Amino acid sequence: MATRKECIALDAKDKLAPLREHFALPEGVVYLDGNSLGALPRAAPARIQQVVQDEWGRDLIGSWNTAGWIDMASRLGDKIAPLIGADAGEVIVADSTSINLYKVLSAAIALVKADASHRNVILSERSNFPTDLYIAESLAREHGFELKLVNTDEIEAHLDDRLAVLMLTHVNYRSGLVHDMGRLTRACHAAGGLVVWDLAHSAGAVPVDLKGSGPSEEAADFAVGCGYKYLNGGPGAPAFVWAHPWHTEFMDSLHMRQPLSGWLGHAAPFDFKPDYHPAKGVQRFACGTPAVISMAALECGLDVFWAAEAYGGMEALRRKSIALTSLFIRLVEEHCVGQGLTLFTPRDAAMRGSQVSFSRATGAYNIVQALIARRVIGDFRAPDVMRFGFMPLYTRYVDVWDAMVHLTQVLQTGEWRDARFSQRAVVT
């Protein structure tokens, strides 16, 4: 059994510990919700002020050229690319995850139809994040396709000759289960389908290899992801989109476009032609004018990952993530025996993202609220899941210990039963 003193000793030996200094974390707060909103990079306020006061306030519209605003979407995409196993020029930052999913899922459907295929099933799992299912449902209705939802362990059994697109989130938002991306992508391709991956809970948290280090069949087709979780881009940060070059090249040859054909996805946006000609490569997935201030904040978050390269990069972050989540599971199960908690996250570290979820038949929401009142911040996902995210860039081993102590006290004292903790806020 670990002790607080031993956890402090682990922090003292942690080679990644200096990375915490890149973040402005409130004193006395144990922040375990980076899987929902990443912490504030220390560089972000000054950078945002620079954009507002100097680039916008002083240089005005000239900053599109002089400050490189017009290239931000591609520049940030190139910083994300190494985190997801893509190459420079293949990722673009734009819009939201939902909008980007609409773009790439539409493109995947168009590619299937271009092949004159009889395939008409979009396959996903019931536990996928709701926005992904809502977007897929609307597109299935629009194209006369069927959205088929199955349990996680049934996915491969439904990869058949009707499959058009397999749409999955790499790390499940509630359970933290990590799908075997290479195996499922290979199985999907063997069945003749295309695969779209949502990396919202992966990028910056677990190593991702979209293009595959094995057979070409393991290379994904499309991916989207979010900027405000593990990438620490701030609330509402722009998302990103990736398409395998072989698809963008094929789309070039067919003059295919994605459905939101806005002006910055045009081959020559400043020619201001009335007819649309898609840009080459991933640039075609741009749409409207980039959100410059938000992108500036996101770039500060991405720059911390570049700093992390000196400490071993994503592989080192993954090792620490596993150590943090494993320690939390062990401590909670040792100290909270008989308190009705059930581990909802895979026990096998290889199948677990950078979060730990426990379910409890009663009081899960109230318990999270009681912890927040103690300045231990996790979150709740209906109907009965308590989520705790561990971002190795800034989470310490002593944070794991302190969170366990507070959770134990909340449960043992029955503090969570206080009526004030049952008042549901809009955001849980």
SS3 content of the chain, % helix, strand, coil (to 5): 50, 15, 40
**Active-site annotation holds for 390:** no
CA 9 to chain centre: 31
Residue 413: enclosing H or E segment and its boundaries? helix 397-413
Phi, psi dihedral angles at 93 (to 5 degrees): -95, 125
Q: Which of 162, 186, 387, 396 is flagged as catalytic?
A: 387
Distance CA 399, CA 353 (A): 18
Catalytic residue list contains 87: no
Query: Which residues are CB-neighbours of 284 under 8 A, at least 6 positions away?
Result: 248, 251, 257, 258, 265, 278
Which of the following is catalytic: 23, 173, 222, 228?
228
Contact 356, 390 (CB under 8 A): yes
Report whether 188 contacts 159 (CB < 8 A): yes
**Tokens 């992904």 -> residue:** 132
Q: Which of 23, 31, 129, 240 is catalytic?
A: 129
Three-state secondary structure call for residue 146 = strand
The catalytic position among 174, 186, 229, 320 is 229
Give whole-number Cα distances, 202 to 55, 77, 231, in Å.
33, 16, 10
Selected catalytic residue, list 33, 95, 198, 379: 198
Q: In the structure encoding, which two tokens stand for residue 333, read together?
A: 């199960």
Q: Look up 387 and say whether it is catalytic.
A: yes
Length in residues, the chain: 428
**Neighbour-count burial of 309, counting CB atoms closer than 10 A to its CB (0-12 exposed, 13-18 middle, 19+ buried):** exposed
Compute, in degrees rounded to 10, the torsion defined by CA atoms 227, 232, 234, 235. Answer: 60
Pairing label, strands 355-359, 342-343 = antiparallel
Closest CA to 147 of 134, 131, 130, 161: 134
CA distances to 11, 46, 225, 285 from 354, rounded to whole Å, are 18, 29, 16, 29
Pair 12, 397: CB distance under 8 Å: no
Catalytic residues: 129, 198, 228-229, 387
